[in-house]
Amino acid sequence: MSTLVEINFDGIIGPSHNYAGLSLGNIASSTNAGATAYPREAALQGIAKMRHNLDLGLAQGFFMPLDRPNERWLAALGTDSILAPRHLLSNAISASSMWAANAATVSPAPDTIDERCHLTVANLQTMPHRSHEWTGTLKQLRLAFADPAHFAVHAPVPPPFGDEGAANHMRICASHESAGVEIFVYGVAGGPFPARQHIEASRAVSRLNETQSVLFVQQSGQAIAAGAFHNDVVAVANEHVLFAHEQAFEDAASFYQDLRDRVPETEIIVVPADKVSLKDAIASYLFNAQLVTLPGDDGMALILPTEARDNAPVWSYLQELIAGNGPIRKLLPVDVRQSMANGGGPACLRLRVVADPEKVDERFLATPRKLDEITKIVAEYWPKSIDPGALSDPELISAIRQARSKLLGTCRLSELAD
């Protein structure tokens, strides 16, 4: 019997969570720039989502927040967290590694030539605040997936080719443990907002990950211009199902044909623009749901942000979808509003890894008890609120550092301290 399962690793929302308006092209980030953030509440919302997944019988893991502010990055820029001008400090202190879908691109063992699970860390080079995540992420992934018989963790693709990891990658397969086709979605520059995923990066990642069956697909310029800065804002796949907005891809018809040719079991659910506009899809993060296979015979569920329930056209479309008796049978809204206000929905917060949980460092795997322990640390040490105007307050910076260090201690991961 196969031991491979899909494990969702969520980025624990770090103690420096704030709204600095750093991501051009990400409507929520721009709209909420300068608002007061609530890191404790944010992290508790993230933990509640993980608990909800565990309760559904799904395998769940987590990653530690990175060390922020990143003094090494500031030192390389000739400054530090005390002297740095405000814009540099906000880029150095962002808790953006919470969005684990951008940590790496994962090609599970059934898809790769050497039958190991490959992870290529994303360089995230388009956005300054995200461009320095990779060092901490690489260290963490090399620890979590350390067994070389089962995993290969690659350093990022070099600049200038931007790579944003799993947010622009999907996999269609008959079931998680069978070989599938890997879909790399890239953008083309020229619109009002940056196209963060470069096709050369996608090609490089597919080579590094030793993938066997690959499709390179262009994201529609219209979607990027409407605020879909990552493909996972307009499409999501799980096993043989692709759930996508009508305007997600530049040439959807030939992409869908290729997909059906490669994986005959493929089911494609296209959401028409006349039922859900791109604007509503992006505002509600309908497609940033986690599309998961429930244990037993329960079919698939969409773990959606509550914003999708609160959007009338989206919710009415979803009612129709469920009534149609297709592969998606359940709608499960979760409250991740603090992350959503920076453009990060349920699917942004997680990195999917199809692997045998026994082969993963157990310190990164969630159990109800561990989540209780993490909750205690968050409740005691995470700042209650952060005003972006107060990021340079030395007391706040030391509270942020202390909070992370307590969490690392509790999770026996102090070796990730710096």
Catalytic (active-site) positions: 164, 230, 348
Q: CA–CA distance from 237 to each of 2, 213, 270, 302, 390 (Å)?
A: 21, 16, 12, 11, 40
Which span sits near ligand SUG by CB under 6 A: 46-54, 60-68, 229-237, 319-327? Answer: 229-237
Residues 6+ apart with CB under 8 A from 112: 118, 209, 210, 211, 212
Dihedral of alpha carbons 284, 290, 291, 297, sign: negative
What mask of x and - would describe binding to ligand SUG in positions 119 to 158, judged by CB under 6 A? --------x--x----------------------------
Structure tokens at 79: 């400054």
Measured from the CB atom, is 22 or 241 closer to ligand SUG? Answer: 22
Measured from the CB atom, is 229 or 317 closer to ligand SUG? Answer: 229
**Residues β-bridged to residue 62:** 10
Q: Among residues 60, 125, 338, 342, which is the contact residue for ligand SUG, using CB under 6 A?
A: 342
CB of residue 254 vs ligand SUG: minimum separation in angstroms? 25
CB of residue 35 vs ligand SUG: minimum separation in angstroms? 10
Measured from the CB atom, is 20 or 263 closer to ligand SUG? Answer: 20
Q: Among residues 69, 343, 346, 383, which is the contact residue for ligand SUG, using CB under 6 A?
A: 343
DSSP 364: G
Measured from the CB atom, is 4 or 278 closer to ligand SUG? Answer: 278
Q: Among residues 169, 230, 240, 350, which is the contact residue for ligand SUG, using CB under 6 A?
A: 230
Count of CB atoms situated within 10 Å of the CB of 58:
21
Q: Among residues 62, 99, 134, 161, which is the contact residue for ligand SUG, using CB under 6 A?
A: 99
CB of residue 60 vs ligand SUG: minimum separation in angstroms? 18
Q: Which of residues 344-383 bind ligand SUG (CB under 6 A)?
A: 344, 348
Number of residues that bind ligand SUG (CB under 6 A): 23
Asked if 348 and 102 count as a contact pair (C-beta separation under 8 A), the reply is yes
**88 lies in the binding site for ligand SUG (CB under 6 A):** no
Q: How far apart are CA 4 and CA 358, in angstroms?
A: 10
Q: How far apart are CA 356 and CA 166, in angstroms?
A: 19
Structure tokens at 42: 């944010």
Structure tokens at 202: 């996608």
**232 lies in the binding site for ligand SUG (CB under 6 A):** yes
CB of residue 65 vs ligand SUG: minimum separation in angstroms? 14
CB of residue 411 vs ligand SUG: minimum separation in angstroms? 23
Torsion (CA) 26, 31, 36, 37 in degrees, nearest 10 = -30
Structure tokens at 83: 């002297």
Q: How far apart are CA 314 and CA 121, in angstroms?
A: 33
Q: Among residues 13, 233, 278, 386, which is the contact residue for ligand SUG, using CB under 6 A?
A: 233
Which span sits near ligand SUG by CB under 6 A: 76-84, 95-103, 131-139, 325-333? Answer: 95-103
Q: How far apart are CA 238 and CA 153, in angstroms?
A: 23
Torsion (CA) 232, 236, 238, 242 in degrees, nearest 10 = -140
**413 lies in the binding site for ligand SUG (CB under 6 A):** no
What mask of x and - would describe binding to ligand SUG in positions 301 to 340, judged by CB under 6 A? ----------------------------------------
Which span sits near ligand SUG by CB under 6 A: 14-22, 181-189, 295-303, 307-315? Answer: 14-22
CB of residue 26 vs ligand SUG: minimum separation in angstroms? 4
Nearest Cα neighbor of 101 from 377, 379, 339 is 339
Measured from the CB atom, is 29 or 211 closer to ligand SUG? Answer: 29
Asked if 89 and 132 count as a contact pair (C-beta separation under 8 A), the reply is no
Q: Which of residues 16-45 bind ligand SUG (CB under 6 A)?
A: 19-23, 26, 29
Query: How many angstroms separate the most distant Cα atoms in the chain?
Result: 59
Strand locations in 85-168, DSSP E?
Answer: 104-107, 117-121, 151-154
Give every strand in the sheet of 104-107, ordered side by side.
Answer: 104-107, 117-121, 151-154
Measured from the CB atom, is 243 or 370 closer to ligand SUG? Answer: 243
Give the residues lining the site for ligand SUG (CB under 6 A). 19-23, 26, 29, 94, 96, 99, 101-102, 127, 130, 167, 229-230, 232-233, 342-344, 348
